[in-house]
Amino acid sequence: MLDELRLEKLHAKEEKERKRTEAMQQWQAKMDSEQAKEDRKIMEKDLSTLSGHQLQYYLQRMQIAAAQLKIRSSSEGDDDKPGGSNMDESDDE
């Protein structure tokens, strides 16, 4: 009887951890998607109307956005986890 309770508690703990991990991955995927949208907007920005500090800001953001887009595009084929999460799910079995 005591072993059954321990086993049930262990299963509940594993399920809770699995759900937490899944929620974190979904959140990370959402954040990655929003960042990608922001990066695309910056890359498409018409710089001809900007000058001074605004131009410097957008040029700097474009470099960062281009680097992030490059990283995302190269890692899309490398992992099968949503959002490119680096979480290890090896103990989920």
Give the confidence band of 87 by pLDDT, cuts at 50, 70, 90.
very low
pLDDT in tens, 54-83: 999 989 988 988 888 888 788 776 555 544
Neighbouring C-alpha atoms within 13 Å toward the C-beta of 57: 7
Dihedral of the alpha carbons of 15, 89, 32, 71, in degrees to the nearest 10: 180
Could you tell me the sign of the dihedral formed by the alpha carbons of 10, 81, 87, 21, in that order?
negative
pLDDT at 27 over 90: yes
